[in-house]
Amino acid sequence: MINLLPQESKVEIRKWYHNKITVVSLTFLLVALLLSIIFLVPALIATRTKQGLIESNLATAKSRPISQEAENLKDMIREVNAKLKIISGESTSSPTFSSYVDKIFAHKTSAISLTHIEESEPGHIVLRGLARTRTALLAFIRELDGDETFAEVISPISNLINNTDIEFSVDLKTK
């Protein structure tokens, strides 16, 4: 079959064809987007309406006398539990982690820099850091050991290998 169209016409027809495909694709995409918006708007309106109803029902339920009585009962239970702790002899003010950290920093000198303080489990604190000298580290460990807050101070022998710039790890058990 003989092709009678000149080359310029063939190029022009291809451009026209590509433009037509682009326009049809974009039109299809626009229609799909508009249809999805049209179908999602009622669901959005229904969701907002249900949210408003749920919020108003929650406010109504909180204002009922039963809810207020439940809050009063919670407060009364807390008070009774506190009184029971006092009567049973349990301490209501157990030391907090921050109070232990304060005690540790009270014994720390400028030759000791702490890089890590962690309460691995209740009553067990792990210290890691860098000591300038062995004597500074020993003095720090002795001071911690002399503090009545800590039941046991565990320092591995590997802490004492170097003379200067010692990376150390100390385990503290609280009372």
Instruction: Give the CATH superfamily of 97-174.
Output: General secretion pathway protein M, EpsM (3.30.1360.100)
Instruction: Tell me the whole-structure pTM to 2 decimals.
Output: 0.47
What confidence tens digit (pLDDT) does each residue in 93-134 have?
567 888 888 899 999 999 999 999 998 888 899 999 999 999
Does residue 152 surpass a pLDDT of 80?
yes
Q: Is 98 exposed, middle or buried (0-12, 13-18, 19+ CB in 10 A)?
A: exposed
Amino acid found at 55? E
Domain limits of the chain?
Answer: 9-93, 97-174
What is the spatial distance between Cα 69 and Cα 64, in angstroms, rounded to a whole number?
9
CA angle 67, 73, 74 (to 5 degrees): 95
Instruction: Evaluate if residue 62 carries a pLDDT over 80.
Output: no
